[in-house]
A and B are shown apart, each in its own frame.
Chain A
């Protein structure tokens, strides 16, 4: 069963997944840009796979391509799960 996509649960999962991609955990804040974290399009696909497994929400399509910050990703997942 998918986890309920509360803002807190999504943030925890997104931060954990980005850290797993190789970014420094203490640099992963809502305002941090993916560019500054060296998270590229391949990483975003991996992140979306983790999110889909966890929350049953697809993080794909045009919206996902426009993601700039960690906060953008968290908000998009929460919005799509609602």
Chain B
């Protein structure tokens, strides 16, 4: 019997503000963190979390990760020191790109002032594994650590990797999540050049008028622990990572398989890993980017994977409220989903109003709705959700979460 992995702490810095709980509560109320067509984490002030030296040595994506991690560790009751042997605590943090702002700044210096003026910090600022490195140093996490790089699936893959590492006995706990900051001139131009981003600046997943994603920034971090270890120390349990499934479309470098075949395999694998049936799913936290292609293929995939049950399951997208946090999205969305399961509620898809042909699931328009109460032998059973994350490159990662 493999080890169960529970969630004991969560932290987030997002366009909806500082704090994981803030993220969920504001989304549940239908509030948006998008302003002027951008989802900026504008409440984040580095000096509130970092010394001057730490801030100089961390790109903004790493800074966001440090702030979210501090919250997650405090939330887990780890604020005064690790309750587990630090050698047994690992760290896996996903990012789509890494230190993009630093890359652009240093390239400007190279062009303007020459190679001799490029900062000796350039590499550690830019590298996609900067966040797990910084978190390990700051919080004394001495177990296995690495970054996951699977574009917009990276945050979900980080959770999946972490669960597998605990299953394998490599660690008793993993600090896992994602961080991204690509609200930079080059990244903005690059996503626009491929036609991925919204001209209207409105994130409206699954709506007929959707015209691309809105860029966002932020970080989300979860403390994942072996259930036995967490229970022994009397930890408060927020939820469980019940399963994880991943696959590749092997279809196109950016466009999803129109039939969603890869996504279907990831969803079914996650269900199998969790030991549950499609009928057991109470809520789907969609990847729901607001791009014409994703929302159509994802809808198809949910229908194929869940069958007739798909019509009964609320499906909503946090990206309607904060935009697309790329490599952080899967982690931030998993965090919001854990709270949603705990409260037995499906938060709404904002800005949804005009149905698109063939996109006919319950996207939770308008306001949050209660999840159906389900019984097992002894009474109401914990709610179960899928959190989808799909990335350029054809990466599909699905996390199956169980509430308390």
Contact = CB atoms under 8 A, between A and B. Distances in A.
The dominant DSSP class at the A interface is helix
A46 interface: yes
A21 B54 CA distance: 10
Interface in A36-51: 38, 42, 45-46, 49
A52 B117 CA distance: 10
Contacts of A53: 117
Contacts of B119: 46, 49
B40 to A, nearest CB: 26
A49 B117 contact: yes
The dominant DSSP class at the B interface is helix
A7 interface: no
A50 to B, nearest CB: 10
Given A21-B56, A22-B56, A46 B51 contact: no
A22 B51 contact: yes
A38 B121 contact: no
A15 B384 CA distance: 58
A13 B37 CA distance: 43
Interface string B54-77: 101000000000000000000000
Interface residues of A, number: 10
B46 to A, nearest CB: 12
Contact of B120 (A23, A38, A45, A52): A45
Contact of B53 (A38, A49, A52): A38
Nearest to B51: A22
Contacts of B53: 21-23, 38
B52 interface: yes
Contacts of B124: 42
A42 B121 contact: yes
B116 interface: yes
A54 to B, nearest CB: 13
Interface in A3-40: 21-23, 38
A22 B52 contact: yes
A45 B120 CA distance: 7
B52 A42 contact: no
A18 to B, nearest CB: 11
Nearest to B119: A46
Interface in B102-137: 116-117, 119-121, 124
Interface string B184-228: 000000000000000000000000000000000000000000000
Nearest to A41: B120
Given A21-B56, A22-B52, A22-B53, A46 B121 contact: yes
Contacts of B117: 49, 53
A53 B116 CA distance: 11
A46 to B, nearest CB: 6
B177 to A, nearest CB: 26
A46 B52 contact: no
Contacts of B120: 42, 45-46
Contacts of B56: 21-22
21 contacts: A21-B53, A21-B56, A22-B51, A22-B52, A22-B53, A22-B54, A22-B56, A23-B53, A38-B53, A42-B120, A42-B121, A42-B124, A45-B120, A46-B119, A46-B120, A46-B121, A49-B116, A49-B117, A49-B119, A52-B116, A53-B117
Given A22-B52, A46-B119, 19 more contacts: A21-B53, A21-B56, A22-B51, A22-B53, A22-B54, A22-B56, A23-B53, A38-B53, A42-B120, A42-B121, A42-B124, A45-B120, A46-B120, A46-B121, A49-B116, A49-B117, A49-B119, A52-B116, A53-B117
- The 3 A-B pairs with the shortest beta carbon distances in the complex, nearest first, are A22-B53, A45-B120, A22-B52
